[in-house]
């Protein structure tokens, strides 16, 4: 059974801090790993990672995948209150089905 585990479950930081979110997985026939940000109901897409060691960046967010150790990290630098959300990691295996982790709830305080 495919499994995706995220850590920590939640964290509280202050504006300007840097956060690192972890996602580990056990998946048969891995195809890609995706990160989403969920603030209200629908998650919004952040990154898709398919290759090891290549960092993807978007503004203050960055992510990298390690296919040997089966994990990914999502970094957020210089956090802002608008970064407060649940961050979801999902892994796509053969068949296009995504398995989601339980999410990390991030609260950024002013």
Partner 1 sequence: GAGVSQSPSNKVTEKGKDVELRCDPISGHTALYWYRQSLGQGLEFLIYFQGNSAPDKSGLPSDRFSAERTGGSVSTLTIQRTQQEDSAVYLCASSPVGNEQFFGPGTRLTVL
**Contact set with partner 1 (CB under 8 A):** 6, 31-32, 34, 40-45, 48, 88, 90, 92, 95-103
CB nearer to partner 1: pick between 85 and 101: 101
The minimum distance between CB 43 and partner 1, in angstroms, equals 5
Instruction: Report the distance separating Cα 87 and Cα 105, nearest Å.
Output: 6
The minimum distance between CB 82 and partner 1, in angstroms, equals 19
- Residue listed under structure tokens 């898709």: 48
Burial level of 69, CB count in 10 A (0-12/13-18/19+)? exposed
The minimum distance between CB 49 and partner 1, in angstroms, equals 10
Bond preceding residue 8 cis, omega within 30 of 0: yes
């Amino acid at each position: 059974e495919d499994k995706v585990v995220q850590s920590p479950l939640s964290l509280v930081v202050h504006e300007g801090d840097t956060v690192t979110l972890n996602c580990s997985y056990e998946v048969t026939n891995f195809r890609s790993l995706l990160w989403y940000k969920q603030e209200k109901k629908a998650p919004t897409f952040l990154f898709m990672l398919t290759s090891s060691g290549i960092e993807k960046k978007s503004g203050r967010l960055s992510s990298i995948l390690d296919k040997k150790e089966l994990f990914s990290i999502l970094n957020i630098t210089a956090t802002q209150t608008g970064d407060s959300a649940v961050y979801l990691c999902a892994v796509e295996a053969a068949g296009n089905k995504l398995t989601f982790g339980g999410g990390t709830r991030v609260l950024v305080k002013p």
